[in-house]
């Protein structure tokens, strides 16, 4: 009887329209595979190291490398993995590059209580690299290292490069990956702006600078969420006072419309800041009004990018900020909090799912992907950085700190993998 029921179930599944069962995973997976192949072509490999860059050759290599590695590693952990491609060596070389460029920083005593005499932390993107956007850069690097150490999806784990770490960089040599993460989290906690200014409670490009902005504030928060799993052995110091200060900062940045400013009184109200606000509010447990921020974001949803700082779909920085927040808080299934969506259109990506904010994003990304697996880029965000963020959106990457992804049934995944090649061919043939 059990065998008969199973056979009937299989017949029933196979009798459904293929578009309702396979188009979703096949279309998105094909876009992911093409994007990963593009990232592989963009890597600069030298000896035992590899790195990526964006916004012109040689700029932002640590941030772009961190973003690219997260896209590759996270896909490895998913059921379909890399569709036959082997990026292990590229990942190992990319990790070697990041470890070789980590910089020590003295955590001098300040209001957080994290620093002290002879206390050191770690950062990326500091003055030794010719510029200092270390809060930004470190914020983009850490998710890749955290995901390498902890697999939240189950299944085969990635083979770590040597742990403890063997590196010519004395700042990390001999440390475990968890110790590297802890030193970095300590640095970010230490870098929060303290009392005595209207910038209190946020973060700025340079840690512990006494200044803050809403765009930068999201990056320490995302790192705190990515390193949250107990398996990493990492904790966020000064957590209670940190959250209280962050709530004050969020309240100060939100305006009456529900939108969120770059800094209090500075204007620049956009989707990027709304996403950073929502994620930070989730982490802090309050600060400002989530309902008002969502109402503003809902109204702004279909605003096309009209300069570097405004707009939603087509602005990689805005989309990644919004994605991180909505995925963490609400997950990628169900109706979600956004109703002002673009029409689903005739080119259905996911006919069997509820049309929601994530499906809207995915349809845009599949439709706008170029033949070489990349996207057009916008403003500062192009090349490897943009492709990596878009792959992570399509891949339903989780932060590990919230609602997260609801996995597809195994039968749909298997059927999707069987039709993957055909779907990829169809996309290439008919893509604009």
CA–CA separation, 203 vs 209, rounded Å?
Answer: 8
pLDDT score at 275: 98
Spatial distance between the Cα atoms of 357 and 335, rounded to a whole number of angstroms: 8
Kindly indicate the confidence band of residue 128, based on its pLDDT and cuts at 50, 70 and 90. Answer: low
Closest CA to 281 of 292, 266, 270: 292
pLDDT digits (tens, 9 = 90+) for 202-246: 999 999 999 999 999 999 999 999 999 988 999 999 999 999 999
Percent of the chain at pLDDT > 70 equals 84
Residue 19 has pLDDT above 60, yes or no: no
Among 38-52, 69-83, 152-166, 225-239, the range scoring the smallest mean pLDDT is: 152-166
What SS3 state is found at 377? coil
21-430 adopts what CATH topology? Glycosyltransferase (1.50.10)
Q: Give the gyration radius of the chain's Cα atoms.
A: 22
146 or 163, which is more confident: 146
Model confidence at 24, pLDDT cuts 50, 70, 90, reads low
pLDDT tens digits, 378-431: 988 889 999 999 999 999 999 976 543 333 333 233 333 333 333 333 333 333
Contacts of 222 (CB under 8 A, 6+ apart): 139, 143, 279, 324, 399
Q: If DSSP codes are grouped into helix, strand and coil, which group holds residue 238?
A: coil
pLDDT bucket at 108, cuts 50 / 70 / 90: very high
Q: Return d(Cα 229, Cα 240) in angstroms, integer.
A: 18
20 compared with 395, residue with greater pLDDT = 395
Per DSSP, what are the bridge partners of residue 260? 254
Average pLDDT over residues 325-345: 94
**3 state DSSP class of 254:** strand
Query: Higher-confidence residue: 180 or 3?
Result: 180
pLDDT at 291 over 50: yes
Residue spans per domain, the chain: 21-430
Which residues have CB under 8 Å from 99's CB, separation 6+? 165, 167, 169, 172, 180
Residue-wise pLDDT tens digits, 343-385: 887 767 777 788 999 999 999 999 999 999 999 989 888 899 9
Quickly state the pLDDT bin for 253 (edges 50, 70, 90): very high
- Identify the pLDDT of residue 398: 94
> Quick one: CA torsion of 350, 278, 404, 313, rounded to 10 degrees?
30
Distance CA 397, CA 323 (A): 9
Q: CA–CA separation, 10 vs 2, rounded Å?
A: 12
- Token pair for residue 245? 């200060």
Total residues belonging to the chain: 432
Higher pLDDT: 326 or 129? It is 326
**pLDDT tens, 186-201?**
999 999 999 988 799 9
Instruction: Share the mean pLDDT of the chain.
Output: 85
CB atoms closer than 10 angstroms to residue 348: 17
Are 300 and 260 within 8 A, CB to CB?
no
Q: Measure the CA–CA gap between 40 and 52, rounded to whole angstroms.
A: 9
- pLDDT at site 13: 35
Over 99-160, what HEC string results? Answer: HHHCEEEECCCCCCCCCCCCCEEEECCCHHHCCCCHHHHHHHHHHHHHHHHCCCCCCCCCCC
Give the separation between CA 307 and CA 30, rounded to whole angstroms.
30
Looking at per-residue confidence, does 394 or 55 come out higher? 394
Strands (E), 231-366: none
Q: pLDDT value at position 56?
A: 53
């Amino acid at each position: 009887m059990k065998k008969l029921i199973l056979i009937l179930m299989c017949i029933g599944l196979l009798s459904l329209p293929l578009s309702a069962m396979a188009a979703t995973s096949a279309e998105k997976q094909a876009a992911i595979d093409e994007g990963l192949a593009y990232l592989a072509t963009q890597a600069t490999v030298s000896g035992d190291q590899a790195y990526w860059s964006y916004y012109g050759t040689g700029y932002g290599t640590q941030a772009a490398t961190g973003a690219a590695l997260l896209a590759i590693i996270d896909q490895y952990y998913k059921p379909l993995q890399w569709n036959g491609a082997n990026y292990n060596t590229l990942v190992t070389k990319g990790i070697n590059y990041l470890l070789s460029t980590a910089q020590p920083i003295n955590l001098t005593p300040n209001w957080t209580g994290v620093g002290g005499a002879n206390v050191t932390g770690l950062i990326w993107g500091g003055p030794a690299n010719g510029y200092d956007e270390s809060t930004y850069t470190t914020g983009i690097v850490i998710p890749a290292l955290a995901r390498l150490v902890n697999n939240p999806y189950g299944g085969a784990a990635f083979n770590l490069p040597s742990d403890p770490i063997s590196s010519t960089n004395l700042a990390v040599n001999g440390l475990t990956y968890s110790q590297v993460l802890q030193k970095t989290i300590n640095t970010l906690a230490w870098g929060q702006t303290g009392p005595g200014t209207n910038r209190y409670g946020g973060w700025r490009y340079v840690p512990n600078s006494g200044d803050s902005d809403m765009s930068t504030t999201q990056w320490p928060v995302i790192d705190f969420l990515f390193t949250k799993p107990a398996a990493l052995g990492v904790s966020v110091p000064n957590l209670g006072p940190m959250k209280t200060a962050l709530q004050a900062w969020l309240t100060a940045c939100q305006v009456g419309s529900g939108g969120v400013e770059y800094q209090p009184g500075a204007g620049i109200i956009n989707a990027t800041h709304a996403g950073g606000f929502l994620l930070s509010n989730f982490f802090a447990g309050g600060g400002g009004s989530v309902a008002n921020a969502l109402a503003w974001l809902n109204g702004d949803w279909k605003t096309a990018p009209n300069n570097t700082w405004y707009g939603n779909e087509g602005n990689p920085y805005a989309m990644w900020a919004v994605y991180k927040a909505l995925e963490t808080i609400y997950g990628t299934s169900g109706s979600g909090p956004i109703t002002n969506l673009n029409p689903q259109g005739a080119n259905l990506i996911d006919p069997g799912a509820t049309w929601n904010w994530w499906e809207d994003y995915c349809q845009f990304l599949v439709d706008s992907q170029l033949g070489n697996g990349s996207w057009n880029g916008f403003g500062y965000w192009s090349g490897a950085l943009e492709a990596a963020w878009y792959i992570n959106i399509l891949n339903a990457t989780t932060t590990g700190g919230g609602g997260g992804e609801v996995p597809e049934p195994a039968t749909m995944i298997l059927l999707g993998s069987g039709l993957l090649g055909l779907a990829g061919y169809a996309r290439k043939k008919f893509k604009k």
